[in-house]
Amino acid sequence: MLSKIWIVLILSVLSSAFVTRLEKATPKIVIVGAGASGIAAAAKLLENGFSDIVILEAQDRIGGRVYSIPFGKGFLDLGGQWCEGEGGNVVYELVKPHFEFGDTGITPENDHCHTSDGIMLDQSICTNMLNMSMSILEDYKKMGKSNKSLGEYYEESYQNKNSAAIDEEFADQIKDFNERQMNSLFASESWYDVSAKLAAHTAAEGNEQLTWKDRGYKTVFDYLTKKLPDPSKALPVDEKIQLNKEVTNIDWNSNEVIVKCADGSEYRADHVIVTVSLGYLKKHHPTLFTPKLPQKKITAIQNTGFGTLGKIFLEFEQPFWSTDSKNWAAYAFLWKQKDKDNLIGSEKEWVTDVTSFMRVDAYPNLIAAFVAGKHMKQFEEISDQQLINDSMWLLEKFLGRTLPRPINMRRSKWMSNKYFLGSYSFTSIDNEFNDFKDLGEAICNGENKPILLFAGEATEEVNSGYVHGAVSSGWRVAGEIVEHYGSPI
């Protein structure tokens, strides 16, 4: 009798192992979005033997918010641009053994401060101002669980660190500059929207201005899919991608998930990985999912901040700035209040959201600006010619001299793109500590099978807002599927 029981148990184990192997060979996986997280997930799944994969991309290109456009003999990045940090950055760790990064090299010593009446500040004053600003940000990150906004904390800390010898008007200029600088870091409309809880979402250690030189951030996809460094080991990710496939509904009401597209096509899957932007989720989650998402995930979507960082690239026949990066790397703009007030309600009010113009590594004739704040809609809606005119007006006003006209311009429009509706996430004053975890948590069926998984930079508890966070999230969800079938990743 005992031997029969053992035989039954052994057959049961063998049967279970067989079913597991069979399921692993056949599960259908749909990935919504061919950005950094979607490509990373697909590559990791293929690497682990999962081949029945389709990636549905709504646009006519891959990359998502990594958008490297041809320029001259190389590429410019309208989206993710810098490999931000070294230690703790999976992109850096993946690529560094095979690629020599460049460096934008902006420091408080080579960032020149100009006021809106065309005066350049003494460099020692500028350097002290920039050092103080960064120290306040670092102190703010250490607050951890504070509910104070970044703006509130700055005001309190600045009063403590501010010398009585500093003129009140200059103090206001510094405060305004720092708000623009922080908005450009977090893609926020206001630094009163950004929470001190961002301390849990720190950047990687080391240089945060590492560049891809003239190759563009798109280079990361060649390493993710193993086209580099050895093309013979390339994974067949490209053949899994279908472009111009806008997903309109994901029905996860049964064990088999049905993905419906705008062109009428449908895909059935055992697992669906959703990598759309948080901005897209904020607008479309009520109609994108059937049934609706669990309330804790909806709350996390609503609580988490999502904003827009704009970019401008201007090319000139010859640089009018110093080409010695040790001497100059950026122009920082400090507005006098009367000059700023004069632009209220005007067609060029958006220029008050520009923090600075900076050098572009590997492109000696280019300068670039970041734009973030309350006027992003105006920035994206004006014509290319108006943008050039306004940019040159801004540069000439602050540098105090007539400048040559640019011969080329490139710009971003992330808010206007209906598939993104912004650039990246940030920790808002409404965020709770579990929100990022809830955003990234898989939805399982009654058999504890992860049928709906979520990736993208906003789903990462650490490194949200970064491309390397997006890559990490893609690997994370791929790992959840692999582990479900009992294999190490």
Is residue 32 situated within a structural domain?
A: yes
> Are both 425 and 301 inside the same structural domain?
yes
433 phi and psi, to 5 degrees? -65, -25
Is residue 218 situated within a structural domain?
A: yes
> Are both 299 and 285 inside the same structural domain?
yes
Sign of CA dihedral 278, 283, 288, 293: positive
Structural domain total, the chain: 2
Q: What is the pLDDT of residue 29?
A: 99
Q: Which residues of 377-410 are buried (b: 16+ CB within 10 A; e: fewer)?
A: eebbebeeeebbebbbebbebbbeeeeeebeeeb
> Are both 111 and 237 inside the same structural domain?
no
Domain of 383 in residue numbering reads as 105-208+310-411
Q: Give the type of residue at 185.
A: L
Q: The domain that contains 181 carries what CATH number?
A: 3.90.660.10
Q: Name the domain boundary from 352, 376, 411.
A: 411
Is residue 489 situated within a structural domain?
A: no
- pTM comes to 0.93
> Are both 424 and 397 inside the same structural domain?
no
- Residue ranges, the chain, pLDDT below 50: 1-2, 4-5, 7-11, 13-15, 17-19, 21-24
Q: What is the pLDDT of residue 223?
A: 99
> Are both 315 and 402 inside the same structural domain?
yes
> Are both 300 and 314 inside the same structural domain?
no
Residues flagged as binding site for FAD? 37, 57-58, 247
Q: The domain that contains 32 carries what CATH number?
A: 3.50.50.60
Is residue 170 situated within a structural domain?
A: yes
3-state SS assignment for residue 422: coil
Sign of CA dihedral 327, 399, 208, 92: negative
Q: Of 103, 79, 81, 105, whose CA–CA distance to 91 is shortest? A: 81
166 phi and psi, to 5 degrees? -80, 130
Q: What is the pLDDT of residue 165?
A: 57
Q: What is the pLDDT of residue 357?
A: 98
Is residue 402 situated within a structural domain?
A: yes
Is residue 179 situated within a structural domain?
A: yes
> Are both 337 and 394 inside the same structural domain?
yes
The full 3-state SS of the chain, as one line of letters, equals CHHHHHHHHHHHHHHHHHHHHHHHHCCCEEEECCEHHHHHHHHHHHHCCCCCEEEECCCCCCECCCCEEEECCEEEECCCCCECCCECCHHHHHHHHHCCCEECCCCCCCEEEEECCCCECCHHHHHHHHHHHHHHHHHHHCCCCCCCEHHHHHHHHHHHHCCCCCCHHHHHHHHHHHHHHHHHHHCCCCCCCEEHHHHHCCCCECCCCEECCCCCCCHHHHHHCCCCCCHHHCCCCHHHEECCCCEEEEECCCCCEEEEECCCCEEEECEEEECCCHHHHHHHHHHHEECCCCHHHHHHHHHCEEECCEEEEEECCCCCCCCCCCCCCEEEEECCHHHHHCCCCCCCHHHHHEEEEEEECCEEEEEEEEECCCCHHHHHHCCHHHHHHHHHHHHHHHHCCCCCCCCEEEECCCCCCCCCCCCEEECECCCCCCHHHHHHCCEECCCCCEEEEECCHHHCCCCCCCHHHHHHHHHHHHHHHHHHCCCCC
> Are both 290 and 216 inside the same structural domain?
yes
> Are both 318 and 403 inside the same structural domain?
yes
Q: What is the pLDDT of residue 164?
A: 54
User: Helix crossing, 295-303 with 278-288: angle to 10°?
Assistant: 150
> Are both 203 and 220 inside the same structural domain?
no
Element (H, E) at 23: helix 2-25
Residues flagged as binding site for substrate? 370
Q: Of 151, 209, 142, 207, whose CA–CA distance to 182 is shortest? A: 151
Q: What is the pLDDT of residue 205?
A: 86
Q: Is 116 left (phi over 0), alpha (psi -120 to 50) or beta?
A: alpha
Q: What is the pLDDT of residue 487?
A: 66
Sign of CA dihedral 238, 477, 446, 23: positive
Find residue 271's DSSP bridge partners: 29
Is residue 357 situated within a structural domain?
A: yes
Q: Name the domain boundary from 411, 440, 457.
A: 411
Is residue 247 situated within a structural domain?
A: yes
Residues flagged as binding site? 37, 57-58, 247, 370
> Are both 69 and 202 inside the same structural domain?
no
Q: Name the domain boundary from 391, 411, 431.
A: 411
> Are both 201 and 125 inside the same structural domain?
yes
Over residues 114-141, the pLDDT tens digits come to 999 999 999 999 998 888 878 877 777 7
